[in-house]
Amino acid sequence: MSVSFLDRLGETATRKLAARSSRRGVLGRMSAAMALAPAFPLLPVARADAASAPAPTLSDFERRAQSRDATKCNYWRHCAIDGVLCGCCGGGVHTCPPGTEPSPVSWIGTCRNPADGRSYVIAYRDCCGRDICATSKDCHCNTADREMPIYRPQASNDIIWCFGTASTAYHCSTAAIIGQAS
């Protein structure tokens, strides 16, 4: 019976492997690999992956928020505003229009800026002293991230904050940044 080329090749390779290695050495290396395998998930790569943790759940508003146009209801600072945007009425995102004065009190919200992924404390301050601003309906906003019912008035935007001002007439609302939330 003739010996095929493949048989000779297999025999040669097996003999060379047997000549260069010991069964004890193979068993030792396999045992070491099995013993060390459970340690690998604890190495820095795995820990870094765990530290990145699940991403915070975003609200509907936060998913649609933008950071370019402050005269739109979906501007990020407007996550909890109820009223007319002063930016549509001759004022700005944190300035009152001429002929009105800011309320000395406000209500406080926390909004996420999609540009940097950070949250900021926002003071929603009403501008008072003129009738409600007549402008596009697109500037009439009512968002409610982290808002509470009126029985927790300090966290409700269903309140007109025009008191402590010369006039209690509501005109529009601003959204000033107080600082970055920690």
Partner 1 sequence: MRFPLLPVLGVLCALGLSALPRPAPASGAMPVVPVVQGHYLVGCGGCHGVQGRSGRSVVPDLAGQVGYFLCTPQGRDYLVRLPNVAFADLSSQDLADMVNFVVFTLGRDSVPAGATPYTAAEIARLRADPLRLADLHGYRDRVVRGVIGACPRARELHDYDTAQAGREAGRDAP
- Closest separation in Å from C-beta 112 to partner 1: 13
Q: Which is nearer to partner 1, 90 or 105 (CB)?
A: 105
Residue 32, classified by CB atoms within 10 Å of its CB into exposed (0-12), middle (13-18) or buried (19+), is exposed
What distance in Å separates the CA atoms of residue 97 and residue 129, rounded to the nearest whole number?
Answer: 10
- Closest separation in Å from C-beta 102 to partner 1: 10
Residue 58 within binding range of partner 1, rule CB under 8 A: no
Which amino acid, one-letter code, is at 18?
Answer: A
Residue 140 within binding range of partner 1, rule CB under 8 A: no
Residue 159 within binding range of partner 1, rule CB under 8 A: yes
Residue 158 within binding range of partner 1, rule CB under 8 A: yes
Q: Which is nearer to partner 1, 4 or 182 (CB)?
A: 182
User: Active site residue: 7, 60, 76, 126, which one?
Assistant: 126
Examine the residue annotation and report whether 126 is marked as an active-site residue of this protein.
Answer: yes
**Binding string to partner 1 for residues 82 to 121, with x set by CB under 8 A, is what?**
xx---------xx---------xxxxx-x---------xx
Measuring CA to CA, how many Å separate 165 from each of 76, 98, 109, 161? 28, 15, 22, 9
- Closest separation in Å from C-beta 170 to partner 1: 7
Q: Which is nearer to partner 1, 61 or 77 (CB)?
A: 77
Phi-psi region of 76 (alpha: psi -120 to 50; beta: other; left: phi over 0): alpha
Measuring CA to CA, how many Å separate 177 from each of 52, 78, 80, 117, 152? 28, 11, 13, 15, 22
- Residue 54 neighbours by CB distance under 10 Å: 5
Which residue positions form the known binding site for substrate? 82, 157-159
Active-site residue set: 107, 126
